[in-house]
Structure 1
């Protein structure tokens, strides 16, 4: 495989709302920016497929928005991150309008439970594409460059600092080595891990898996939002012998609430690597309000872009080590030469197992069975087949999903309660005494590490009784007029 080398100051992985906003802010701050995406500009990602709703609050209701996000999260949200979100979300509308994004402001204060919160929405289901098209155009106007349909296969760190990535051009199979001073990870979530989902193809947790393997700390990975009929939720918790065949036909994975742990400046624990959007965890805990995902992507995408531009002014770019590039070359060539299981077949086996045993109907018994199913798939790590360069994407997505599946199952076994969108049918009630805590996961020396830590409750404490529900939660009644 021929290898082509690139160098940039700020590397952005992902071209949804979070990645595009990060690119705009970094370029606007004077940095040389390169955006890499496995998708093409017209391909459907989660931003494009969204209806374009943005949670918003007037400046006078920032504290109310903060309370609603925290309480909806089941008190698992990092309240320092929620402070940032609540204070910046009111500015999202004007921020996007300044870039020429056409949005309608729908005043929903008179609707039940909206209470002064408004949503921003465009015209129909084309809103998402209109949003990404305009944001990309603005990034290009500012000098940002784009590499489309490039599948990143690994993140490279040197001495604890992000150094770049290795990937493959899906059109011609050429290996790409990209060195950078700083990076924004905005690759989205992984709802396609489950056999039923409303997400478009490509939501495969790539960034989460690669960051974990590079040493990044993850949080709340067990918290996945599932769409499920509200009138059947009680019936779900009445199931005695999960999985119930009838109920497996309902619902689907919608949104990853967990992901990379970030701080108030969108920094991860890897020096020089920032993250934003659905790739991250900590902002929403166990459940989120409707429309909050896109607002979160803009808020933390903008912050990550500004922060990485500052780093880019201070650091030097070094080329990636030849050893790492060669290791990735051998891995890609092995997949292309393999006579083993085709990647799509392996992925379907994985998705079926995760939906059946680790989806809406989780118990210790089903999760342990999920673990056995994953064990059976583990040998495919070294023998999954890609028939051509384009299928390398399928193979790498399978490997990323398998990595994250193991983490989700392990974290789900640990959390012995139900809270927000996390459901354990054998522990159907919230347990604030033991589980107002976050599960943190990372890798050190090739071994998985886990820690359970008290949730960051900087303002609102003690926890109220958490809600249990599906999908995006409605707003709460106000505590003030």
Structure 2
């Protein structure tokens, strides 16, 4: 079978390697250089190694609790059952996870995990280590790699995917394949502030929407609680809080316990909202205090964070550092079954572009790299039976266009479209805290905008972001209840508008 994998993070490269090892002809198409994307930026680790008193069942329970009742239990069971095998595979491919003096894997704990079960590499450089190992593994095979190629659309014929349309150096090209595996990542650049690297513009989800593929749960956007609030967005790993760092207000009080008994180790959505409210109340960013860990431990355990914080003028071994939330991860996406199949025969989706059902309304920390490895391998194994099937699990359906059923202010509709204006609108009204009025106004504005006919990569990205913004705002307006990362406040409570300092 002739297979194309679009994307080169952990999910895409795992799928490509497994497909090649199964005898398929494989091409990897990537928007930038091979290995670019979110995987290489991941500071956190891979959950799934169980010590004394821990088990896959406990991991599954923690995942379901974090998902706020909307996770697919069968998908979660697959995730934890296959986890150990996939971690062992990463080790065999050359990922050097951190070990103790006696050679045992070092296990860390992060928010909402009941046990220490997370393996890291290079302290806080797990994603970079994984990306290097998988890129090297791909380079050793006969997998064809096409770099700096932009996915314009899926080619659909006779109700099945037949290939992809690419834009490379300004030239459009249609390529035919027997199966397409989307591994294009999320859409962090829908928002004014995000941890995601440039280019994370939802291209795979947008292409799927245009092809009529089922998409769900776009309203569930996870905001990472702790981004360094000084300079360009830089994530301060949840593992820092797992090691004992605290979050304090301007008087030094640990305020997160007001929101949840687990304090700093509560689920990400809870901690993010607590930080946002406290920052708004005091008029300045909250701070993370890691001074109790000491300079030597911080430098050894978190070398990347240690270097960047010092480059930006902070000695975090002696003083707390300012932090703020930012858009981080999309729990929704292209709906798949347990083997990555979508509603369009021949089309698979893996990684953040997919909605496998694992994450529900809120992703558990360090489950994303695991999900990419587990479901990337499963999708490759299912290629020979890719006739397509209706995915077995669906959450609440969310209409993609509610423009006819909402009212909005005329002045909003007259605002000219730009990527920056869209990102700020999404941040203000479809972000951490959402109101009926804010969502309706945002949707009205978005529905009234028209991006220019796309010719360049940037223009195609803008069109994709505008399409996804309408779908996300529509889904958020349709889901009236607060659940997980989707938090609705009464109209009389104004949604917070956060600014990165």
Instruction: Please say whether Structure 1 and Structure 2 have the same fold, judged by a TM-score greater than 0.5.
Output: yes
The residue number in structure 2 matching 1:150 is 149
Question: In structure 1, which of residues 47, 55, 59 is the aligned counterpart of residue 39 of structure 2?
Answer: 47
Q: Distance in 1 between matches of 2:112 and 2:166?
A: 46
59-68 or 160-169, which moves further after superposition?
59-68
Q: Distance in 1 between matches of 2:275 and 2:5?
A: 44
The residue number in structure 2 matching 1:452 is none
Specify whether residues 168 and 62 from structure 1 end up closer, same or farther in structure 2 by C-alpha distance, changes over 3 A only: same
Q: Distance in 2 between matches of 1:427 and 1:418?
A: 14
Question: In structure 2, which of residues 46, 50, 62 is the aligned counterpart of residue 58 of structure 1?
Answer: 50
Specify whether residues 99 and 235 from structure 1 end up closer, same or farther in structure 2 by C-alpha distance, changes over 3 A only: closer
Specify whether residues 357 and 141 from structure 1 end up closer, same or farther in structure 2 by C-alpha distance, changes over 3 A only: same
Q: Distance in 1 between matches of 2:432 and 2:215?
A: 22
Question: In structure 1, which of residues 258, 263, 266 is the aligned counterpart of residue 340 of structure 2?
Answer: 266
Report if aligned partners of 1:255, 1:278 keep a CA contact under 8 Å in 2. yes
Report if aligned partners of 1:168, 1:176 keep a CA contact under 8 Å in 2. yes
Q: Tell me whether 1:35 sits opposite 2:110 in the alignment.
A: no
Gaps of 5+ in 2: 99-104, 227-246, 248-255, 257-271, 286-322, 389-415, 493-501
Secondary structure of residue in 1 paired with 2:174: strand
Specify whether residues 259 and 245 from structure 1 end up closer, same or farther in structure 2 by C-alpha distance, changes over 3 A only: farther
The residue number in structure 1 matching 2:434 is 362
Q: Distance in 2 between matches of 1:228 and 1:112?
A: 11
Q: Distance in 2 between matches of 1:13 and 1:307?
A: 17
Specify whether residues 254 and 75 from structure 1 end up closer, same or farther in structure 2 by C-alpha distance, changes over 3 A only: same
Specify whether residues 126 and 70 from structure 1 end up closer, same or farther in structure 2 by C-alpha distance, changes over 3 A only: closer
The residue number in structure 1 matching 2:11 is 18
Report if aligned partners of 1:57, 1:65 keep a CA contact under 8 Å in 2. no
Quote the offset at 1:216 in angstroms. 1.0
Q: Distance in 2 between matches of 1:292 and 1:184?
A: 20
The residue number in structure 2 matching 1:299 is 374
Deviations 1:215-271 (A, max 9, x none): 1111211000012467473586799xx9x9989x94210100111111111111110
Q: Tell me whether 1:397 sits opposite 2:461 in the alignment.
A: yes
The residue number in structure 2 matching 1:180 is 177
Q: Distance in 1 between matches of 2:40 and 2:491?
A: 37
The residue number in structure 2 matching 1:233 is 273
Report if aligned partners of 1:181, 1:311 keep a CA contact under 8 Å in 2. no
Deviations 1:166-222 (A, max 9, x none): 1111xx322222111011111000011000111111111110110111111112110
1:194-205 correspondence to structure 2 within 5 Å: 194-205=191-202
The residue number in structure 2 matching 1:71 is 65
Q: Distance in 2 between matches of 1:107 and 1:246?
A: 35
Compute the TM-score of the two structures, normalised by the length of structure 1: 0.72
Secondary structure of residue in 2 paired with 1:165: strand
Quote the offset at 1:52 in angstroms. 4.7
How many equivalent pairs are there?
A: 377
Q: Distance in 1 between matches of 2:44 and 2:144?
A: 25
Q: Distance in 2 between matches of 1:112 and 1:290?
A: 7
121-130 or 141-150, which moves further after superposition?
121-130
Specify whether residues 235 and 40 from structure 1 end up closer, same or farther in structure 2 by C-alpha distance, changes over 3 A only: closer
Specify whether residues 228 and 156 from structure 1 end up closer, same or farther in structure 2 by C-alpha distance, changes over 3 A only: same
Gaps of 5+ in 1: 1-7, 316-343, 387-391, 429-481
Report if aligned partners of 1:190, 1:205 keep a CA contact under 8 Å in 2. yes
Report if aligned partners of 1:287, 1:421 keep a CA contact under 8 Å in 2. yes
1:328-343 correspondence to structure 2 within 5 Å: none
Report if aligned partners of 1:185, 1:207 keep a CA contact under 8 Å in 2. yes
1:41-440 correspondence to structure 2 within 5 Å: 41=34, 43=36, 45-58=37-50, 61-104=55-98, 105-108=105-108, 114-169=113-168, 172-228=169-225, 231=256, 233-234=273-274, 250-281=324-355, 282-308=357-383, 310-311=384-385, 346-378=418-450, 380-382=451-453, 392-426=456-490
- Across the aligned residues of Structure 1 and Structure 2, the Cα RMSD in angstroms comes to 3.1
Secondary structure of residue in 1 paired with 2:467: helix
Specify whether residues 372 and 56 from structure 1 end up closer, same or farther in structure 2 by C-alpha distance, changes over 3 A only: same
Specify whether residues 246 and 405 from structure 1 end up closer, same or farther in structure 2 by C-alpha distance, changes over 3 A only: farther
Question: In structure 1, which of residues 5, 9, 33 is the aligned counterpart of residue 2 of structure 2?
Answer: 9
